[in-house]
Amino acid sequence: MVRRVQTGGGWPAVKYTFSKAREAGGLWKLWKAMRSKNACKTCALGMGGQMGGMANERGVFPEVCKKSLQAMVADMQGAVKPDFFKTYSVAQLQAFTPRELETSGRLTVPVIHRQGDNYYQPISWDDAFAKIIGKLTTATPPVTPNETFWYFSGRSSNEAGFLLQIFARVFGTNNVNNCSFYCHQASGVGLGSVMGTGTASIVLEDLEHADLIFIIGGNPASNHPRLMSTLKNMRRKGGHVIVINPIIETGLVNFSVPSDPLSLMFGSRIASVYVQPHIGGDLALLTGVAKRIVEMNAHDETFLEKHCDHWPALKAQLARHDWDDIYRKSGVDVAAIQAIATRYAAAENVVFTWTMGITHHTYGVENVEAIANLALLRGMAGRPNAGLLPIRGHSNVQGIGSMGVTPKLKEAIFDRLQSHFGLQLPVTEGLDTLACIEAADRRELKFGFCLGGNLYGSNPDSTFAKRALGELELLVSLNTTLNTGHAHGLAKETIILPVLARDEEPQSTTQESMFNYIRLSDGGSARHVGPKSEIEVIATIASGVLGNGGPIDWESMKNTNRIREAIAKVIPGFDKIAQFGETKQEFQLDGRTFHTPHFPTPNGKAQLRVHELPRLAGGPNELRLMTIRSEGQFNTVVYEDYDLYRGVEGRFVILLHPDDLERFGLQPGQATTVRSSTGEMTNIAATSFPKIRPGNAAMYYPECNILVPRTSDPRSRTPAFKSVIVTIEPTRQKLLQREGNGVGAPIR
């Protein structure tokens, strides 16, 4: 039974450090690994390498975060046993939970699986390379460039991302995309549409001078714990935090920052105002706050007229929306909207942050635009200490984007690539992530290459994703550990290549934080014999496919200094990276953050956007379901089956407000069947969870992705992972108990 905690962080976090240290072979060993000069492996708020892996970009030594310990200890685990792939058939691997797959050990030998075989077989590196290179060059019938796709997760370095991206283009396709299409793509598109640039408008220091921070649609206590000391410090100085979230997240109410004795003993209050809209109600709520600000005459008319386009249109639209409609479409009444508006109007330096509760909707881009509108109303962008901050997920997802890992290259990158290398790049339209899976299903694609990640596990509609990947002739993935994709997302032939983690790389690499700061990973010694560096793998394949006599000498790209020289020439703002191998000097990217109200749009003005308010999804006998992370997982990798902060045991559960349990005639703990338009899950334990807004429900990703339809935001192509319409009824079979996997999981 898990103990319900009343505060985030605190003693459990400290205790956890010691238990993880035991797994890693002792506190000293773990401490040394954590102190190595490598950028943190988890979220993009993580720490740079320059100061010994644990200081942020201002050189301040912050928290040891549980996430980074988990990721580090996972990389420090022993190798997959030599007879592992002989012992466990694919059918058995399919019955493993995500946690069991992850803890099977580090991958050290390449393996291959052929459709119809029961087992993965080891394959030598040479044979694996020959097979991949052969498929792309001499196969009959041939595989053409546009029959291939290239997926990137956000864990890899800038160098690996850049190298693979240009290889795919020179090979001849723009089917190049990254996990951002399932994550913050709506932030990039929405910020781009209003501000002219798709990343944070502030640096870390600005955040520390804010006196009001909005946390919208995210749970940083669990997913970005290092943000919590900033919030605590700000509250101590008299600042405020406004949280907008359908769930009251324990750690956003109270958080005990382990490095601060007072906070550790007594906890620190985080939220000043906590508002619970319905899932998907943010656009209406944010519009309501904007309307109220104008009614209170708390907006900055001069700023709006001087530095923004379309202010008259927005003003007229805000006046047209009526309060009843706003309430119906958000679930938030005028009194709560007034509470937010009052705090906002009183603050001087305001930072707006948001995460997946905003982007995972069919109108994610509009949600982000509404946040930007609200900030601009009071001139909270284009000056120091205030602005917009999408809280990024993966540690280098932003860098992977900067390196040009998008179907359509930015014009400047395209031109510079052509002129610097004398290349002729493809101009065909490239496919985004979801479009690749759909094209695979139509048998239009034959070959897939995944630089890290878990493409199967991160997809909506798992049944469909499995079928689509099954149509590919060859799927190659570069991974450190096993995940559900290796068991379920199998192509006709599937190759897994084991790679080194960033702190095991023989050469230094770089990563970009969500504050547009380029960080060092100095590498280290390999923990296992067998895995290769991502860069070596990519360069070997590229040189085998394209040869070395052309415009790019791929062999020479095994040296990260050569890659960085190319990055400096090709990617705007990255000039300083050319000398990085020598100086190891971390740096702030130019041209991303703006402290003056001159926006990188064609006329230098921010572009306010006008929106219709969407109706809340779902009918009277349905529930709106959000699919979320627990405190004990990192994306599709599950470290623990319990969710400490929410006090939930097991992962095959649906969290429901007691009112909804009653509405559907369910008892707490009862086995239920949850159905959506794409799938159903049986034996899901109905869990009483008073902290969720009635009418809404939550389940854990990735297990529940079978229920998530492929409905996506047309502007960002991000699936609506947080807005799944489901029905619920008791399961007739008896609820099955299974050790370790929580209540409700099928017995295998």
Positions touching Mo ion (CB under 5 A) are: 183, 393
User: Looking at beta carbons only, is 417 or 455 nearer to ligand MGD?
Assistant: 455
Shortest spacing between CB 309 and ligand MGD, in angstroms: 28
Q: Give the Cα separation of 61 and 44 in Å (integer).
A: 16
> Using the 8-state DSSP alphabet, how is residue 79 labeled?
B
Which one of ligand MGD, Mo ion, none interacts with residue 247, CB within 5 to 8 A by kind?
ligand MGD
Q: Which residues contact ligand MGD (rule: CB under 6 A)? A: 43, 67, 153-156, 179, 182-183, 216-219, 222-224, 244-247, 249, 277, 279-280, 282, 355-357, 393-394, 451-455, 457-458, 478-481, 483, 499, 501-502, 534, 626-629, 633-637, 701, 705, 708, 721-722
Q: Which residues contact 731 (CB under 8 A, 6 or more apart)?
A: 671, 672, 673, 682, 683, 684
Q: Give the Cα separation of 224 and 214 in Å (integer).
A: 15
Shortest spacing between CB 200 and Mo ion, in angstroms: 15
Shortest spacing between CB 433 and Mo ion, in angstroms: 12
Shortest spacing between CB 454 and ligand MGD, in angstroms: 4
517-521/587-588 β-pairing: antiparallel
Which one of Mo ion, ligand MGD, none interacts with residue 135, CB within 5 to 8 A by kind?
none
Q: Give the Cα separation of 666 and 292 in Å (integer).
A: 40
Amino acid (one-letter) located at 703 = E
Which one of ligand MGD, Mo ion, none interacts with residue 455, CB within 5 to 8 A by kind?
ligand MGD
User: Looking at beta carbons only, is 21 or 101 nearer to ligand MGD?
Assistant: 101
User: Looking at beta carbons only, is 129 or 311 nearer to ligand MGD?
Assistant: 129
Token pair, residue 80, equals: 């997959």
Token pair, residue 305, equals: 């007229």
Q: Which residues contact 283 (CB under 8 A, 6 or more apart)?
A: 329, 330, 363, 366, 367, 370, 611, 613, 614
End-to-end CA distance of the chain: 23
User: Looking at beta carbons only, is 185 or 509 nearer to Mo ion?
Assistant: 185
Which one of ligand MGD, Mo ion, none interacts with residue 629, CB within 5 to 8 A by kind?
ligand MGD
User: Looking at beta carbons only, is 153 or 513 nearer to ligand MGD?
Assistant: 153
Token pair, residue 310, equals: 């379309």
Which one of ligand MGD, Mo ion, none interacts with residue 279, CB within 5 to 8 A by kind?
ligand MGD
Shortest spacing between CB 315 and ligand MGD, in angstroms: 25
Which one of ligand MGD, Mo ion, none interacts with residue 227, CB within 5 to 8 A by kind?
none
CA dihedral angle for residue 232, residue 234, residue 235, residue 237, rounded to 10 degrees: 130
DSSP 257-300: -TT-HHHHHH-EE--SEEE-PPTT-HHHHHHHHHHHHHHTT-S-
Shortest spacing between CB 156 and ligand MGD, in angstroms: 5
Q: Which residues contact 578 (CB under 8 A, 6 or more apart)?
A: 564, 565, 567, 568, 569
User: Looking at beta carbons only, is 63 or 282 nearer to ligand MGD?
Assistant: 282
Shortest spacing between CB 426 and Mo ion, in angstroms: 28
User: Looking at beta carbons only, is 480 or 507 nearer to Mo ion?
Assistant: 480
Q: Report which secondary-structure segment, H or E, holds 101.
A: helix 98-102
User: Looking at beta carbons only, is 627 or 672 nearer to Mo ion?
Assistant: 627
Residue spans of alpha helices (H) in 557-596:
560-570, 580-583
Q: Is 92 helix (H, G, I), strand (E, B) or coil?
A: helix
Which one of ligand MGD, Mo ion, none interacts with residue 474, CB within 5 to 8 A by kind?
none
Count of C-beta atoms within a 10 Å radius of residue 647: 17
Count of C-beta atoms within a 10 Å radius of residue 416: 17
> Using the 8-state DSSP alphabet, how is residue 613 labeled?
P
Give yes or no for a contact between 212 and 242, defined as CB atoms under 8 angstroms apart: yes
Q: Which residues pair with 273 in a beta bridge?
A: 242
User: Looking at beta carbons only, is 378 or 624 nearer to ligand MGD?
Assistant: 624
User: Looking at beta carbons only, is 451 or 490 nearer to ligand MGD?
Assistant: 451
Shortest spacing between CB 723 and ligand MGD, in angstroms: 7
Token pair, residue 570, equals: 């090709």
Q: Is 747 helix (H, G, I), strand (E, B) or coil?
A: coil
Shortest spacing between CB 698 and ligand MGD, in angstroms: 7
DSSP 417-480: HHHHHT-----SPPP-HHHHHHHHHTT---EEEEESS-HHHHSSSHHHHHHHHHT-SEEEEEES
Q: Is 631 helix (H, G, I), strand (E, B) or coil?
A: coil
Which one of Mo ion, ligand MGD, none interacts with residue 458, CB within 5 to 8 A by kind?
ligand MGD
State phi, psi for 422 to the nearest 5 degrees.
Answer: 65, 40
Residue whose C-alpha is closest to residue 729's, from 648, 669, 657, 670? 670
User: Looking at beta carbons only, is 156 or 177 nearer to ligand MGD?
Assistant: 156
State phi, psi for 294 to the nearest 5 degrees.
Answer: -70, -40
Which one of Mo ion, ligand MGD, none interacts with residue 701, CB within 5 to 8 A by kind?
ligand MGD
User: Looking at beta carbons only, is 10 or 393 nearer to Mo ion?
Assistant: 393
Shortest spacing between CB 470 and ligand MGD, in angstroms: 18
User: Looking at beta carbons only, is 184 or 693 nearer to Mo ion?
Assistant: 184
Give yes or no for a contact between 348 and 384, defined as CB atoms under 8 angstroms apart: no
Shortest spacing between CB 450 and ligand MGD, in angstroms: 8
606-607/308-309 β-pairing: parallel
Which one of ligand MGD, Mo ion, none interacts with residue 39, CB within 5 to 8 A by kind?
none
Residue whose C-alpha is closest to residue 440's, from 475, 474, 471? 471
User: Looking at beta carbons only, is 468 or 637 nearer to ligand MGD?
Assistant: 637
Give yes or no for a contact between 669 and 721, defined as CB atoms under 8 angstroms apart: no
Shortest spacing between CB 394 and Mo ion, in angstroms: 6
Q: Which residue number is nearest to Mo ion in terms of Cβ?
A: 393
Shortest spacing between CB 135 and ligand MGD, in angstroms: 20
Shortest spacing between CB 549 and ligand MGD, in angstroms: 29
